[in-house]
Amino acid sequence: MAAALINQGKIRISGHIKKPGYRVTQSDRVTGVILPPEPPLQVSSDPEPIHVVHEDPHIIVLDKPPNLVVHPGPGNQSNTLVNRLLYHFPDLKDVGEDPLRPGIVHRLDKDTSGLILVARTSQSLDFLQKEFKDHRVEKTYMALVSGATLPDNGEISLPVGRHPKHRKRMAVTPDSGKPARTSWQVCRRFARTCLVRIQLHTGRTHQIRVHFYDMGHPLLGDRVYQYRRNRKKQQSFPRQMLHSWQIAFRHPYSGEKLQFASDPPPDFASAVAKEAGYTGK
């Protein structure tokens, strides 16, 4: 858009029309038009199916497949979970103030599978967001992590924030990160990996992936938080092996404690079977 405005003479340098590649100097004076605000992004509905675990007039619990972004954003304006939700639950479009995230209480990474909670009314959204903020929602994950020497159980309490150099990544950042706490228990131990049950006590972006990477046990299949020497070895796994297995919370209307569980999808089960059969030969 900027190049088009320059070529049309609507943006000038010291009163003159310049080419878009012109480099301005300290003495140059840039004049031009005030750009109108971009129209709000319209979120279309998508008839692709969704797996509903539970629904009532106040909430929806879904089992999200891997390789699906939760809500629209730059580079993902369609084919997201929200697009599908709006087709199956059109009333969601008025829930909350963000039209790109109607009813969305929390998120899962694109390649993380499993349970996700959606609010069906604005009152439910406010209640559940506060429950998450106050750490009253119990979230349990299953993961396959690298290395067979992980202790049977433990807790990681390290702050997580934006990576100081790679701005699209997160990292353990003691000086600027937000408090993050993850606990785990080994369920099965294989020749080179472990199947781990993980309790997420806080909800920082990429928290589980960052914590286990920092501890020396990155998730299998993780292309981002993975040691360079292992990236090619991990290609046999289609994604990071992380599954949102259980969620427990208070119902926003009745106050009743609800708990749901979701079996890992076939690719996760296949990865577990592969590790169980690996002998190192």
Of the residues 46, 63, 109, 267, only one is catalytic, namely 109
CA distances from 133 to 96, 130, 188, 202, 203 (A): 16, 5, 32, 8, 9
- Assess whether 109 carries a catalytic annotation: yes
Residue 246 neighbours by CB distance under 10 Å:
17
Q: Which residues contact 113 (CB under 8 A, 6 or more apart)?
A: 63, 64, 65, 66, 242, 243, 244, 264, 265, 268
Q: Which of 164, 137, 146, 150 is nearest to 259 (CA)?
A: 137
Q: What are phi and psi of 218, to 5 degrees?
A: -60, 155
Q: Using DSSP, state whether 200 is helix, strand or coil.
A: strand
Residues acting as catalytic residues: 109
